[in-house]
Amino acid sequence: MSMNTWRRAGAEAKLLLVGIPVFIWTMLPIYHLALFAFSSKDEAMGGKLWPSHPTLHNFEVVFREQHHYLNHFWLQMWNSLFIAVTVGLLTLVVATCAAFAISRLKVRGGRMVMNLALFTYFIPAAFLAVPMYKTMGVYGLLNNQWALILAMTTIAAPYSIWVLKQASDKLPYELDEAAKMDGASPLQLFRLVYLPLMTPSLVAIGTYALLLAWNEYLYAFLLLSNDKDVTLGVALGSFLAADDSPWELLMTTGLIYALPPAAIYYTFKRYMVGGLTAGAVKS
């Protein structure tokens, strides 16, 4: 083997040396999650690397809502999905319109609005929880899922606006002028030129907001209290209330809870491609 091959093998080995520990570090909790989910109650805490009698019994219990902690499993799953998807869509609408106005229509004061919105990130979201609770109370939205939807949109929007504004700035401005000359109104420009070209960023931001809402615990816990309104994440939290919690069911539900975001991410990942504007202008 030549010197070059050795050098390449050396570089590869170095990468593996870093990569393997990181991989194990990341996968270990997920492995435990799965281990619990496929073990029977007695075996779960046994400390084995793999159950001697793997079982799907836990999944059956969860899907059939056969435990009092899981009485509303399907409803709560739906709540999570509804809230996350709505937050994703609402954030997209708000952020896209804002980014278009700031970056393309160059609305006066737009940048200041964006910076003000970003300013909210200087305060940890946890500190804003109480004022947010109070605000929702004023509007009579407590125990209403829209309270959580609005709160999460508020949290997701500044970052989304900022990212979309950066992405918009990269679209050649000549396209807007060409569309204007071709007779497009601002709305047509938005719909027929801007949105199609922003698709990758929109998918990324939509997914971001959706996952943010899906994984949210604090706000969901604060703003919703009725068992039939809460998200699955909050319901999972209630497992911890008792001393003899059914850990294997908690882990099974957790595993199931992790699947939709993974599915959503991998479904939309293929839209997050660059190079959509290739050929628009000579660079």
- Closest CB 271 distance from another protein, rounded Å: 13
- Identify the CA nearest to 215 among candidates 197, 232, 196, 193: 232
Q: Answer yes or no whether residue 42 interacts with another protein by CB under 8 A.
A: no
Among residues 202 and 209, whose Cβ is nearest to another protein?
A: 202
Measured in whole angstroms, the distance separating CA 13 from the mean position of its chain's CA atoms is 34
Burial of 125 (0-12, 13-18, 19+ CB in 10 A): middle
Q: Answer yes or no whether residue 137 interacts with another protein by CB under 8 A.
A: no
Among residues 87 and 167, whose Cβ is nearest to another protein?
A: 167
- Closest CB 102 distance from another protein, rounded Å: 20
CA distance 142 to 138: 9
CA distance 211 to 122: 21
Binding part of the chain for another protein, among 22-30, 73-81, 218-226, 269-277 by CB under 8 A, reads 269-277
Q: Answer yes or no whether residue 200 interacts with another protein by CB under 8 A.
A: no
Q: Answer yes or no whether residue 135 interacts with another protein by CB under 8 A.
A: no
Q: Answer yes or no whether residue 197 interacts with another protein by CB under 8 A.
A: yes
Q: Answer yes or no whether residue 188 interacts with another protein by CB under 8 A.
A: yes
Size of the site for another protein (CB under 8 A): 24
Q: Answer yes or no whether residue 274 interacts with another protein by CB under 8 A.
A: no
Per-residue contact string for residues 146-185; x = within reach of another protein by CB under 8 A: --------------------------x-xx-xxxxxxxx-
Q: Answer yes or no whether residue 60 interacts with another protein by CB under 8 A.
A: no
CA distance 93 to 88: 9
Among residues 123 and 192, whose Cβ is nearest to another protein?
A: 192
- Closest CB 247 distance from another protein, rounded Å: 51
Residue 145 vs residues 77, 83, 199, 221, 224: alpha-carbon distances, Å: 13, 7, 28, 11, 7
CA distance 219 to 216: 7
CA distance 221 to 237: 9
Among residues 80 and 103, whose Cβ is nearest to another protein?
A: 103
- Identify the CA nearest to 232 among candidates 248, 245, 213, 247: 213
DSSP annotation of 70 reads G
CA distance 123 to 207: 24
Among residues 185 and 245, whose Cβ is nearest to another protein?
A: 185
* Residues lying near another protein in the complex (CB under 8 A): 172, 174-175, 177-184, 188, 192-193, 196-197, 275-282
